[in-house]
């Protein structure tokens, strides 16, 4: 019987920067390293701390794996017409035509060195639609398709740019994600068109017009169970094709387009308690999973508040601020901090509801301001006049002393930052998606979240040393959860944080709030955040650090002189030590104790450091290179112009951007603001950080980018061509996708081609130079990524090995044990889909996933399409299906058979965390000839001290054991 996938396990981890919980597993090529167990993030985080939740990652059936996307993209590239190629070439070297591999329509059409159209006095939306109509060779939309477009949003930023969004709708039901986005300058110049609209939508919808077989209530329940929660008891109200429950959960019918056609689904927003706040799309006919998005990103009127943190040299002393005068509370407010943009309470039981005893009376009496902070200076050796402790973990109920102060200070900081972000040059207004009670989506601020969830009245292991912000689409309230710091029962060496609250640390609260900014600006055509992959997620963390520290520095609350290494996120809770691995103002080669790299070298990070900053690819650490680059822009242009470029670039961004995509968007933002006068300086800044023209990245899930330090080349372009042949047979490989990573970000479009029947490909309009990541992907073959030096007349030939296990090459799963999670995108077939973005997820113990310290070995049997002499196996043992790193395969065994009945061992061993996120070549030790069947055994998860840590330990691997991919190389 198929069980529900439940992420119930927890993970004991080393102390990490507490601004965000790890939530980034992306479809479309994301590696399992993204959900690996987090590593220490700074000097203050070198000791073991209490457990932190492991979480379900993201999933998208439109791009279930990189390999599937490559195959689809190859077909799209192979169908390019002469007219389409002519259009693409007309945009020049810095033109971008990125085709969606599912729809075949543009995910992005734009230029970095000019506009798509000239100046015009026509309406912005008419300019964009006219361009789409004028180029059917690229957009492929008929008049009927254009009739499905519904104007959803058109707002103007502070540079006068129109940001226009059209959804697609048939029979009153909206298409999820796909549609049309356009950006038009105040002078009527078209900057870009995006969105990957669905061509032939109406006819596809007619073929799928059957009423849902799955009810909205069942979809909501399925979504809650998928994330290891339960749907809260609530009453439902139906309006058309939408349902809303009294606890705020919603479900509405949507169309969901994949390469396999249009599906009808239920899009749900479910808050299952704690941080289990997700959006799903559940198939309305089968109940299967089509989409999962984790919305959480980690970390009378007179009130006493502080602007920085308790004890700070500047902004560290409480002062009086009137919450009503500033229009953060209505004039008649008395009993609740329920304001114009924030509703705050102490969610001590973590049920996301303001219960009795959790709300705070509006401060201020006839005598004066209220809620003076009471210090607990004997709580830790870290307590001092510079870092004032606000509770005593040895006395768990001591948080009650400052509860009113804590909630009120959080309300003040969030309300203040709301107003700051709304001002130019950031201009995060209601039209752009800000959080406002008038728009139905104020920030629901849960201060002291989970402070009473422990057995002794204090916080449990899941409610310390952290903070988070969940951000649903515009119109639905986000939830911010601010935790206590320092685990009860832990020594200062075990938990090196100041006993305090994240609600008293402005840098942390502002960091969390900024997740709302980035998740509301980097969106698809229907308003869903697309910060999904490790590249995008890392920028999400970096933006949060950057905007928070920019505020504190610009208000003289933190110091930033010409000396490097001064600007520190989270300085309060880490008592002045590094909270990240470096300061945000560390320039390349800067000399400062706060600018030392993990390998001991001096200076800030460059793009090639992405996977090593925190010891393994991880969004907080990997994002530091982006945060430092943004600070470079701030130093070069001043904060006002830099903030304008950085914010406007988010609005110009393609979906799920890489850092190179966002570099391009910043170049475009300057094109809008100054006509491109500063492009040279911007390219210099990014090239200095290794994000130059030739920098390479396979896709948004690439945690190992290749850096480059060159500005865009000038002069004539050339052609890259060659042949792809089978390494063992020499036969041509047809239908292989060849693209230059970092330029063909959507796989199909610029700098890409598909091989013909003779294995030949040709990529035109390529600037000469060395491209470190040229990618070759062919059905049934291994993925090749290698460096190519492009010059006039150069030929680049490739010879991938045949992967006999690959389903696209004829391999098939003929048997397996354990539950079948195919409906959740991680059935046994994921082990042979030739892609590292998906895999096979199973249970550790029984089929129900009951966590015990006894492994029930799981196996998958693969039939090869021919009898093979095996030369090697290639295994990625990584966690999948949104499970955490400890669910990766540890001990394993590979067996072979000629007939599928008699088996013999061909290899065995044990994988560790060092093997995650990559292929590991395993040589057979015997039984490698005459093989047509291969059996892979998962014999243990990567849970440390498995016998003792399960089920008592907090590890997801106690419940689930996974592997990502099995490849088999050899000859017939």
Please give the model's pTM, rounded to 2 decimal places. Answer: 0.86
Characterise 698 by phi-psi region: left (phi > 0), alpha (psi -120 to 50), beta (else): alpha
How many residues are there in the chain? 972
* Cβ partners under 8 Å of residue 77, min gap 6: 99, 737, 747, 748, 749, 752, 753, 754
Are the CB atoms for 163 and 76 separated by under 8 Å? Answer: no
Max intra-chain CA distance, the chain: 91
Question: Can you state the percent helix, strand and coil of the chain, rounding each to 5?
Answer: 25, 25, 50
CA distance 432 to 151: 15
Are the CB atoms for 165 and 153 separated by under 8 Å? Answer: yes
- Which structural domains are found in the chain, ordered by start? 64-79+713-800 (2.60.40.1120), 298-521 (3.10.170.10), 534-688 (1.10.390.10), 807-971 (2.60.120.260)
Across the strands, what pairs with 485?
500
Work out the burial of residue 908: count CB atoms within 10 Å of its CB; fewer than 13 is exposed, 13-18 middle, 19 or more buried.
middle
* Cβ partners under 8 Å of residue 464, min gap 6: 49, 50, 483, 484, 485, 486, 487, 488, 495
CA distance 959 to 555: 48
Main-chain phi, psi angles of 649, to 5 degrees: -65, -35
Find where tokens 């991680």 sit: 826
Torsion of CA 305, 307, 308, 313, to 10 degrees: -100
DSSP E strand stretches across 877-954 = 891-897, 904-910, 920-922, 931-938
* Cβ partners under 8 Å of residue 165, min gap 6: 151, 152, 153, 154, 179, 180, 181, 525, 526, 527
Low-confidence ranges of the chain (pLDDT < 50): 1-53, 299, 745-748
CA distance 826 to 960: 12
DSSP E strand stretches across 221-355 = 236-239, 242-245, 250-258, 261-271, 277-283, 289-294, 296-298, 302-305, 319-322, 337-338, 342-346
* Helices and strands in the chain: count of H runs, count of E runs: 16, 41
Work out the burial of residue 353: count CB atoms within 10 Å of its CB; fewer than 13 is exposed, 13-18 middle, 19 or more buried.
middle
CA distance 865 to 848: 33
Q: Which of 533, 58, 520, 2 is nearest to 291 (CA)?
A: 58
Q: H or E element: which one contains 640? A: helix 639-652
| 3-state DSSP assignment of residue 168 | strand
* Cβ partners under 8 Å of residue 716, min gap 6: none
Residue 464 in tokens: 């310390």
Are the CB atoms for 245 and 234 separated by under 8 Å? Answer: yes
Q: Which of 465, 471, 460 is nearest to 521 (CA)?
A: 471
């Amino acid at each position: 019987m198929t069980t529900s996938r439940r992420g119930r396990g927890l993970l004991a981890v080393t102390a990490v920067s507490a601004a965000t919980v790890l939530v980034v597993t992306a479809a479309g090529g994301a590696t399992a390293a993204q959900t690996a167990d987090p590593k220490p993030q700074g000097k203050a985080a070198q000791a073991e701390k209490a457990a932190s939740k492991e979480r379900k990652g993201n999933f998208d059936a439109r791009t279930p794996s990189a390999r599937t996307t490559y195959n689809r993209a190859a077909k799209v590239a192979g169908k390019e017409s002469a007219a389409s190629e002519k259009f693409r070439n007309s945009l020049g070297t810095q033109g971008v035509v990125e085709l969606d591999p599912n729809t075949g329509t543009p995910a992005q059409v734009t230029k970095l060195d000019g506009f798509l159209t000239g100046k015009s006095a026509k309406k912005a939306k008419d300019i964009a639609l006219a361009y789409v109509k004028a180029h059917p060779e690229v957009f492929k939309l008929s008049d009927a398709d254009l009739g499905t477009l519904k104007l959803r949003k058109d707002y103007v930023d502070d540079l006068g740019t129109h940001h226009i969004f059209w959804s697609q709708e048939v029979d009153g039901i909206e298409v999820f994600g796909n549609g049309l986005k356009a950006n038009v300058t105040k002078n009527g110049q078209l900057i870009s068109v995006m969105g990957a609209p669905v061509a032939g939508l109406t006819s596809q919808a007619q073929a799928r017009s059957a009423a849902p077989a799955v009810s909205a209530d069942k979809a909501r329940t399925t979504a809650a169970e998928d994330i290891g929660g339960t749907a809260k008891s609530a009453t439902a109200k139906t309006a058309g094709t939408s349902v809303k429950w009294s606890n705020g959960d919603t479900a509405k019918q949507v169309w969901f387009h994949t390469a396999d056609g249009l599906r009808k689904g239920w899009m749900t927003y479910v808050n299952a308690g704690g941080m289990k706040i997700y959006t799903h799309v559940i198939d309305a006919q089968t109940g299967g999973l089509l989409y999962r998005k984790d919305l959480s990103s980690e970390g009378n009127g007179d009130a006493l508040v502080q602007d920085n943190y308790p004890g700070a040299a500047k902004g560290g002393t409480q002062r009086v601020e009137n919450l009503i005068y500033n229009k953060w509370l209505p004039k008649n407010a008395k009993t609740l901090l329920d304001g114009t943009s924030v509703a705050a309470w102490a969610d001590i039981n973590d049920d996301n509801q303001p219960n009795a005893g959790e709300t705070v009376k509006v401060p201020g009496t006839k005598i004066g301001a209220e809620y003076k902070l009471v210090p607990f200076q004997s709580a830790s050796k870290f307590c001092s006049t510079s870092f004032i402790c606000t509770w005593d973990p040895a006395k768990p109920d001591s948080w009650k002393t400052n509860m009113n102060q804590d909630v009120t200070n959080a309300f003040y900081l969030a309300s203040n930052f709301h107003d700051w972000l709304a001002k130019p040059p950031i201009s995060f207004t209601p039209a752009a998606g800000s959080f406002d009670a008038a728009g139905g989506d104020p920030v629901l601020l849960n201060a002291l979240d989970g402070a009473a969830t422990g057995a002794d009245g204090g916080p449990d292991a899941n409610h310390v040393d952290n903070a988070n912000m969940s951000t649903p689409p515009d119109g639905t309230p986000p939830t911010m959860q601010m935790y206590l710091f320092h685990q009860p029962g832990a020594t200062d060496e075990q938990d090196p944080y100041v006993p305090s609250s994240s609600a008293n640390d402005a840098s942390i609260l502002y960091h969390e709030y900024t997740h709302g900014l980035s998740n509301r600006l980097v969106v698809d055509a229907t308003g869903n955040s697309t910060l999904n992959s490790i590249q995008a997620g890392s920028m999400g963390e970096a933006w949060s650090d950057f905007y928070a520290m920019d505020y504190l520095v610009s208000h003289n609350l933190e110091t930033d002189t010409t000396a490097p290494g001064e600007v520190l996120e989270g300085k309060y809770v880490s008592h002045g030590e590094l909270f990240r691995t470096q300061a945000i103002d560390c320039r390349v080669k800067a000399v400062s104790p706060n600018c030392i790299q993990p390998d001991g070298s001096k200076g800030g990070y460059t793009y090639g450091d992405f996977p090593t900053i925190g010891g393994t690819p991880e969004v907080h650490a990997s994002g530091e290179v982006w945060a430092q680059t943004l600070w470079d822009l701030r130093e070069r242009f001043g904060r006002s112009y830099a903030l304008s470029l950085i914010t406007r670039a988010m609005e110009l961004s393609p979906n799920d951007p890489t850092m190179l995509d966002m570099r391009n968007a910043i170049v475009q933002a300057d094109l809008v603001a100054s006509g491109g006068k500063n492009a040279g300086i911007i390219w210099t800044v990014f090239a200095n950080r290794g994000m130059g023209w030739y920098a390479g990245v396979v896709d948004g899930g690439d945690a190992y980018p290749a850096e480059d330090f060159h500005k865009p080349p000038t002069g004539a372009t050339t052609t890259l061509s060659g042949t792809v042949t089978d390494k063992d047979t020499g036969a041509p490989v047809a239908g292989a996708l060849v693209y230059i990573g970092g330029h063909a970000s959507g796989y199909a479009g610029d700098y890409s081609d598909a091989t013909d029947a003779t294995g030949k490909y040709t990529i035109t309009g390529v600037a000469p130079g060395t491209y470190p990541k040229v990618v070759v992907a062919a059905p049934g073959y291994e993925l090749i990524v290698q460096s190519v030096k492009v010059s006039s007349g150069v030929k680049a030939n490739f010879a991938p090995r045949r992967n006999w296990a690959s389903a696209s090459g004829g391999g098939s799963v003929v048997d397996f044990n354990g539950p079948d999670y195919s409906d959740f995108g991680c059935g046994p077939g994921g082990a042979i889909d030739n892609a590292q973005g998906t895999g096979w997820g199973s249970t550790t113990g029984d089929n129900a996933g009951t966590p015990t310290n006894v492994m029930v070995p799981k196996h998958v049997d693969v039939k090869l399409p021919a009898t093979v002499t095996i030369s090697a196996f290639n295994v990625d043992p990584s966690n999948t299906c949104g499970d955490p790193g400890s669910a990766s395969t540890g001990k394993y065994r590979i067996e072979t058979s000629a007939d599928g009945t008699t088996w013999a061992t061909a290899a065995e061993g044990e994988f560790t965390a060092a093997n995650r996120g990559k292929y590991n070549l395993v040589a057979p030790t015997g039984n490698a000839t005459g093989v047509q069947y291969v059996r892979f055994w998962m014999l243990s998860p990567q849970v440390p001290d498995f016998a003792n840590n399960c089920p008592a330990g907090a590890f997801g691997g106690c419940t689930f054991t996974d592997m990502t991919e099995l490849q088999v190389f050899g000859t017939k």
